[in-house]
């Protein structure tokens, strides 16, 4: 079995899912109007119906797929739902293989020696759930600082001792561990949706249109009137920015707070760079008030499913189409010198 970690596999799968969703977005006018031929493809059907809340398995029969879409067409397509359902489905065989390997190689943890634990750090999620450790904090308190990429010799020895203390009667069955590990998988999926899916969707859209950009991790800061900070994307760079893109997922409890935070960032940057496009790509729940207020500061406030369209607008702006710019913000701070 590969020593690939669960997080690494999930990341690779999410990148593929992002690519597939980008192509599907293009083919369905940003998930609004799927052509009839799309329903013949099972993978596309899982994404489309999953984005409206249908379970990905079992797959809806071919002759009812278009009707199923129409039945929930009043709902907004949720790209997170679409990706999450498929990601869980793709990860399960990998998780099953991890569980099978761990139980077979240790004879149901009766022979889980320190050396084996150290050499199989990638199986850490299986080991911890099998022996009754259900959180990173509990793991740290009992074993010390470990990860699924590295377990030190002292930590592996503590782990062996703990497994012996637990005893064979308290070791979970493979089926129980399969159920328990869902909490770890859910945490990974939430992280990847927020950190990878949404930003990768935007990055792929920009790349597709030949828009040069730097991501947050690739530059020091974007100068502003009040403070220097980093946007999720700056185009083409932080020295002569022509556009910045923020990507934000919200919830019913936080949309107002997020809107105020992002608005101030936009004012800060657009006030310093007068002809710089300000764009926010949103997902999740946003109140109508929050969206309306942000639209008076950002040039474009768009849902994640329409990232491809805004990438085209940025491309036109870089090519000289000034009509793309919507707002100019005059904002300066000067020291008072007296009259």
* 87, pLDDT greater than 80: yes
Residues 24, 38: Cα–Cα separation, whole Å: 9
Q: How many Cα neighbours within 13 Å face the side chain of 186? A: 8
β 214-215/233-235 pair status: antiparallel
Which sequence spans correspond to the domains of the chain? 6-180, 209-324
89-133 residue pLDDT tens = 999 999 999 999 999 999 999 999 999 999 999 999 999 999 999
Residues 101, 123: Cα–Cα separation, whole Å: 9
Q: What is the CATH number of domain 209-324?
A: 3.40.1350
pLDDT > 90 in the chain, percent:
71
198-230 residue pLDDT tens = 888 899 889 989 999 999 999 999 999 999 999
Residues 277, 259: Cα–Cα separation, whole Å: 17
Taking the complete model, does pTM exceed 0.85, yes or no? Answer: no
Looking at 136-221, list the stretches that DSSP marks H as alpha helix, in order from N- to C-terminal side. 136-142, 153-166, 174-180, 182-192, 198-208
Q: What pLDDT does residue 283 have?
A: 85
CB atoms within 10 A of CB 181: 21
pLDDT averaged over the chain? 92
Residues 157, 115: Cα–Cα separation, whole Å: 8
The dihedral region occupied by 82, where left means phi > 0, alpha psi between -120 and 50, and beta the remainder, is alpha
């Amino acid at each position: 079995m590969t020593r690939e970690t669960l997080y690494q596999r999930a990341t690779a799968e999410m990148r593929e899912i992002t690519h597939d969703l980008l192509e599907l977005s293009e083919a369905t006018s940003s998930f609004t109007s799927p052509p009839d031929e799309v329903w013949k493809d099972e993978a596309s059907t899982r994404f489309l119906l999953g984005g409206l809340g249908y379970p990905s398995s079992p797959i809806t029969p071919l002759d009812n797929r278009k009707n199923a879409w129409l039945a929930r067409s009043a709902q907004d397509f949720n790209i997170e739902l679409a990706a999450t359902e498929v990601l869980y489905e793709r990860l399960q065989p990998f998780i099953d293989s991890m569980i099978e390997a761990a139980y077979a190689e240790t004879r149901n943890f009766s022979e889980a020696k320190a050396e084996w634990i150290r050499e199989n750090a990638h199986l850490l999620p299986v080991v911890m759930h099998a022996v009754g450790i259900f959180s990173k904090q509990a793991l740290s308190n009992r074993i010390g600082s470990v990860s699924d990429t590295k377990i030190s010799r002292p930590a592996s020895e503590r782990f062996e001792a703990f497994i012996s203390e637990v005893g064979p009667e308290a070791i979970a069955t493979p089926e129980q561990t399969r159920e328990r590990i869902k909490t770890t998988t859910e945490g990974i999926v939430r992280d990847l949706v927020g950190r990878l899916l949404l930003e990768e969707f935007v990055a792929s859209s920009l790349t597709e249109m030949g828009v040069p950009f730097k991501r947050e991790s690739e530059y020091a800061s974007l100068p502003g009137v009040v403070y220097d900070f980093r946007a999720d994307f700056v185009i083409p760079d932080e020295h002569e920015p022509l556009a910045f893109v923020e990507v934000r997922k919200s919830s019913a409890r936080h949309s107002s707070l997020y809107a105020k935070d992002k608005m101030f960032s936009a004012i800060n940057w657009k006030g310093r760079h007068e002809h710089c496009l300000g764009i926010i790509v949103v997902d999740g729940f946003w109140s109508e008030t929050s969206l309306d207020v942000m639209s008076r500061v950002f040039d474009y406030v768009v849902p994640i499913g329409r990232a491809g369209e805004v990438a085209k607008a940025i491309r036109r702006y870089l090519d000289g189409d000034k009509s793309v710019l919507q707002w100019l913000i005059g904002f300066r701070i000067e020291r008072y010198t007296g009259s």
